[in-house]
Amino acid sequence: MSIARLSVAATVRAWGLEELVDDARLIASELATNAIRHATRSIPDPEQRGCFRLKVERLSDHLVRISTFDRSHTVPRVLQTSETAESGRGMAVVAALSCRWGVVTRPWGKGVWAECATAPDTQTGVFRDRDGLVVEMGKHGTSSATSTSTVTNLDSRNDAGHNQDSQQD
């Protein structure tokens, strides 16, 4: 998990979004934990167990999306847990810290994503709300977004990043 947290923190800092670093790092940690937990249990091929992809995207000046992709078909959900439960709070943490989150199913597995946003700048107007309904607009009604992303392939069997192919989109 440390490589996932470090990768997300470095990327978000590089984009100048320091105020999102703590939330983004915790979201990445929870999504990575789920990816590892479910990919380890349900994948018969030992070479694929615990492997997942982490993607960090800057969707606009104020909005970052963190995604994990794994080969499991188990869809995460927010659970109601007791105060003494030792696990089961990960997606509740993601839901609390993100402005929205979701799951994309694929024939080979799934992607789980969460978005976090800074407060809107008075110079650029509005940004996406908690339901993702408002489009960010610049001073003259034009989009002020720049979209970039970082992808890291991670292998939980070696937290130092054994399978760590990083690339910039």
Domain total for the chain? 1
Do residues 24 and 117 lie in contact, with contact meaning Cβ atoms separated by under 8 Å?
no
Could you tell me how many residues make up the chain?
Answer: 169
- pLDDT tens digits, residue range 67-112? 999 988 888 878 676 677 666 677 888 999 999 999 999 998 899 9
Which two structure tokens, joined as six digits, stand for 114? 């969460």
Do residues 14 and 118 lie in contact, with contact meaning Cβ atoms separated by under 8 Å?
no
Helix (H, G, I), strand (E, B) or coil at 85: coil
- pLDDT tens digits, residue range 134-165? 434 333 333 333 446 666 666 555 544 333 33
Report percent pLDDT > 70 for the chain: 58
Read off the CATH number of the domain in which 108 is found: 3.30.565.10
Q: Which helix (H) or strand (E) holds 42?
A: helix 21-42
Range of the domain at 43: 2-168
